[in-house]
Amino acid sequence: MTAARSADAPFAFLKGHGTENDFVIVPDPDGVLDVSAADVARLCDRRAGIGADGLLRVVRSAAHPEAAALASEAEWFMDYRNSDGSIAEMCGNGVRVFARYLQRAGLVGAGDLDIATRAGVRHAHIGKDGVDGTEGEITVTMGPAELPGGEVSVGVDGQTWPAVHVSMGNPHAVAFVDDLDDAGELLRAPAVSPAGAYPNGTNVEFVVDRGPAHVAMRVHERGSGETRSCGTGACAVMVAAARRDGLNPARTGQPVTYTVDVPGGRLVVTERADGEIEMTGPAVILAEGTIDPSWLAAPSH
Ligand SMILES: N[C@@H](CCC[C@H](N)C(=O)O)C(=O)O
């Protein structure tokens, strides 16, 4: 990582998570840091780095070429990277953690704020703190889901399941299975076919029912591997489950809410009659420190 001001200057970082989908947060309000894919992979390394599923760079929209056009709508841009350094359009757990960081840093007040992402502007509502001292949950608008249709299937260890293609700004393949263990250890990305359905790769969710409007999922994330939670994945799962259950708020005018359990906790997802999806869940900042740029510049061992 290099900085326009001084290549030797240390950089602040924080560590946070949302339902155990964890992130290195790098505040860079003026967009002066050049964070390469290799830097991200090194920072996210769980043994030789800080360790995380992804990195959130906090940049003023006006200071980032991909977000400058959104600056009048949202002051802050979430520059999200997967742990392998690849760029993704959106991160649902990340955007809650991003909002929590802005609140904690005093850059926004409690309440409502808009955040620019590569998938467009998302609106966050930061809830009041709980009476037990816990931080309030955060609700984020996630945009409408797109279901391009077409037959898709996913496979692990010789087993194959039909899947639902859902876009939440980023791609998802949602497969309903009998048992979450059917997906095995998920050490590698599941096979997805036809390959042309996802030219840029995809996140894959495996889903079981837990009760009425209540499901549980595991996820293999594009660029990060199996994670403990995926917010956009939970929204994709909610929509796939609702359509499977014959529910479509755009037709009935009635919002639909599902509880989505993930290995790292619980998310609540509502699809409104106007198609907008809202997701509510926790967002925690747990540590902060300083990155030594000479460590990043040194060859890895
Ligand atoms: N964990 C995220 C999704 C992060 C991006 C994803 N891996 C992709 O490449 O699309 C979430 O909470 O949504």
Residue 145 lies in a domain: no
Residues 107 and 183 occupy one common structural domain: no
Residues 246 and 290 occupy one common structural domain: no
Mutation test residue for ligand 1: of 20, 79, 83, 90, the one with most atoms within 8 Å of CB:
90
Residues 14 and 131 occupy one common structural domain: yes
Residues 274 and 201 occupy one common structural domain: yes
User: 21 CB under 6 A from ligand 1?
Assistant: yes
pLDDT at 135: 82
Taking CA atoms only, the protein residue closest to ligand 1 atom 3 is 91
- Number of domains present in the structure of the chain: 2
Residues 51 and 120 occupy one common structural domain: yes
pLDDT tens, position by position, for the chain (301 residues)?
554 444 578 999 999 999 999 999 999 999 999 899 999 999 999 999 999 999 999 999 999 999 999 999 999 999 999 999 999 999 999 999 999 999 999 999 778 999 999 999 999 999 887 666 678 899 999 999 999 999 999 999 999 999 999 999 999 999 999 999 999 999 999 999 998 999 999 999 999 999 999 999 999 999 999 999 999 999 999 999 999 999 999 999 999 999 999 999 999 999 999 999 999 999 999 999 999 989 988 877 6
pLDDT at 4: 45
Residues 158 and 81 occupy one common structural domain: no
pLDDT at 5: 42
Residues 200 and 246 occupy one common structural domain: yes
The CATH number for 184's domain is 3.10.310.10
Residue 74 lies in a domain: yes
Backbone angles phi, psi at 225, to 5 degrees: 85, -165
Catalytic residues: 91, 230
Residue 143 lies in a domain: no
Residue 147 lies in a domain: no
pLDDT at 161: 98
User: 203 CB under 6 A from ligand 1?
Assistant: yes
Residues 128 and 199 occupy one common structural domain: no
145 CA to centre of ligand 1 in angstroms: 15
Residue 144 lies in a domain: no
Q: What is the pTM of this model?
A: 0.96
Render pLDDT for 149-201 as a digit per residue (tens, 0 to 9).
999 999 999 999 999 999 999 999 999 999 999 999 999 999 999 989 999 99
User: 123 CB under 6 A from ligand 1?
Assistant: no
Burial class (CB in 10 A: 0-12, 13-18, 19+), 66: middle
Residue 142 lies in a domain: no
Residues 22 and 84 occupy one common structural domain: yes
- The whole domain housing 229 covers 152-279
Which conformational region is residue 225 in: left (phi greater than 0), alpha (psi within -120 to 50 degrees), or beta? left
Taking CA atoms only, the protein residue closest to ligand 1 atom 4 is 91
Residue 64 lies in a domain: yes
Residues 6 and 131 occupy one common structural domain: yes
Residue 146 lies in a domain: no
pLDDT at 128: 81
Residues 166 and 128 occupy one common structural domain: no
Residues 159 and 256 occupy one common structural domain: yes
